[in-house]
Amino acid sequence: MSSTDKKSQVIIDLNKILNENDFTEIRQMENEFKLNGWCFVYLPKELIPDPKLLKEMTLFSFGYRNIWLFESDP
């Protein structure tokens, strides 16, 4: 792909959708899904998992499914 064909990637601000019901951001997200089948999303701070929680989780992949297992303290 040449540099003239490259499109700058849109990053959707999930905070605007969840807290402000920003229709423009929702429409942008819909367009990205239509064009790419996916989109980049900026997560608000309150939706970013705690590092301790991430450390306690283990991801197992079974074919097309991912299953999160949480390790509990004994």
pLDDT in tens, 42-59: 888 888 777 776 666 666
Whose tokens are 């089948």? That residue is 37
| Token code pair at residue 19 | 């807290």
The per-residue pLDDT for 48 is 79
In 1-74, where do the E strands start and end?
11-13, 40-42, 57-62, 65-70
Indicate whether 4 belongs to any domain.
no
User: Domain tally for the chain?
Assistant: 1
Taking the model in full, what pTM does it have?
A: 0.56
Indicate whether 51 belongs to any domain.
yes
Q: Tell me how far CA of residue 11 lies from CA of 4, 29, 50, in angstroms.
A: 20, 9, 22
How far is Cα 28 from Cα 31, in angstroms, rounded to an integer? 5
Indicate whether 26 belongs to any domain.
yes
Indicate whether 61 belongs to any domain.
yes
The per-residue pLDDT for 74 is 43
Indicate whether 2 belongs to any domain.
no
The model's pLDDT over 10-49, given as tens digits with 9 standing for 90+, comes to 999 999 999 999 999 999 999 999 998 889 998 888 887 7
Question: What's the mean pLDDT when you consider all of the chain?
Answer: 75
Q: Which domain holds residue 50?
A: 11-70
